[in-house]
Every structure is written in structure tokens, then in C-alpha cells.
A and B are shown apart, each in its own frame.
Chain A
Amino acid sequence: DTAVSQTPKYLVTQMGNDKSIKCEQNLGHDTMYWYKQDSKKFLKIMFSYNNKELIINETVPNRFSPKSPDKAHLNLHINSLELGDSAVYFCASSQVSGGTPWGEQFFGPGTRLTVL
């Protein structure tokens, strides 16, 4: 059973298009994240949802809009794609409880987005 799954795995599209990436976790976690990993492998958090509520929203262009229909799903919609959006996008989940504000992050396999 896949713990955190993402679709699609690869996404190749033209500049200016709109695309969506979907994420699902079956771990029962209450917090989900979107990360962007650029060509230099730098991992940067974009958004985080806790119990369907947006709790982290980094300085990301408003062309990026996350949506969490329920605790197990976190989708990412990107409008008007630009060349600089090309990257690997990772979804992750964790259980935020106990003495620490966050826990082990379980990452999905990633979606490699290429904008032409």
C-alpha cells in the first residue's frame, strides 16, 4: 500500500497552461504539505494544511492555489505556467501531535513538471 501517492508522476506542458497535481495519503495524518525541489535539489516548503486549514503559505506566486477537500487529500493547481515553475513537486504528510509541533514527514514520489 502506497502511503503518500501523487498523480501524475510526470507533467510536460506549454507555458501559459493551467495544470493540477493531486496528492493522497492513507496514513491518517492530520497535516499535509507541498514542497518544491528545484534543479539544484533545494527543497522549499510552499504550503501546509492541518485538518483542511491552511497554516503555512510561503511567498509563492498566487498562480499556485492549494486545495484540501479532506484530511487525506491535498491538491495543487497552477495557473498560467511559467518556465521557472519547472521543478519536482513533492507532497508530504505528517502527524502533528505530542510535544513537538510536527513529526516525521512522509514524502510522496514527486511530480516532475516541465514547462516548455
Chain B
Amino acid sequence: GQQVMQIPQYQHVQEGEDFTTYCNSSTTLSNIQWYKQRPGGHPVFLIQLVKSGEVKKQKRLTFQFGEAKKNSSLHITATQTTDVGTYFCAGSGGSNYKLTFGKGTLLTVNP
């Protein structure tokens, strides 16, 4: 079945440093979504990418979808303590209603 791998599992940075998490799928994806889960909270939708090579920005966050639609990345510039949480990618490879989540990257930021 479809697998979505996400690395790194953990990342600890100093405030102001950049952060990147990567997702790779075993199959071509129709699209990919990114979610953020604060400690003790629930996943919150950040963005959806659908086009090959697509790049989207949200303030300090940059999301990319690979040309082959099998990988994606989330990059945060100049991290802040409010960025703390687990970032998940989730992709679907077909016309079903199922999203496969990556295992997430836990980001901690040292002030």
C-alpha cells in the first residue's frame, strides 16, 4: 500500500534558525497536505499542494511539491517559539477518500 515517509522525526533549533521537514511517497500523489499539531492539541490544516513543482508561501513558511509529485517539503525561515509542534504531511495517491499521514516531525525551539 501507499507509504509516506517523513524526516527528520525530531528537530531542535535555536530561535531564529531555519527548519525543514521532508516527505517522500512510495507512489505518485494526487496532492499533498500539511498539518501542524501543537503539544496537547489537534492537527490543524496548513496548506494543500496539487500541481507538480508547486511552491506556496505563508509568511515564514514555504511549501514545495516535487516535479514527480512523490515528495514535498516544508521550510520555516527564522523559527519562533510559536512554531513549536509536530508537522505532518499527508498524501493521497488515488481517487479514494483516504489520506496517508507521515509520522510527523516534532519541532522544538529554544528561545
Contacts and interface: CB of A to CB of B under 8 A. Distances in A.
Contact of A110 (B33, B42, B48, B100): B42
A103 B50 CA distance: 11
Given A90-B43, A107-B42, A102 B92 contact: yes
A43 B44 CA distance: 13
Interface in B47-105: 48, 50, 86, 88, 90, 92, 94-101, 103-104
Interface residues of A, number: 25
A40 B103 contact: yes
A63 B88 CA distance: 28
Nearest to B46: A104
Contacts, number: 62
Interface string A80-99: 00000000001000001001
A27 interface: no
A101 B30 contact: yes
A40 B101 CA distance: 13
Contact of A41 (B48, B96, B100, B104): B104
Contact of A56 (B37, B42, B48, B98): B98
Nearest to A110: B42
B31 interface: yes
B106 interface: yes
Given A104-B45, A105-B33, A105-B43, A48 B86 contact: no
15 contacts: A41-B103, A41-B104, A45-B100, A50-B97, A100-B30, A100-B48, A101-B96, A101-B97, A104-B48, A105-B33, A105-B90, A107-B42, A108-B42, A109-B41, A110-B42
Interface of B: 30-31, 33, 35, 37, 41-45, 48, 50, 86, 88, 90, 92, 94-101, 103-104, 106
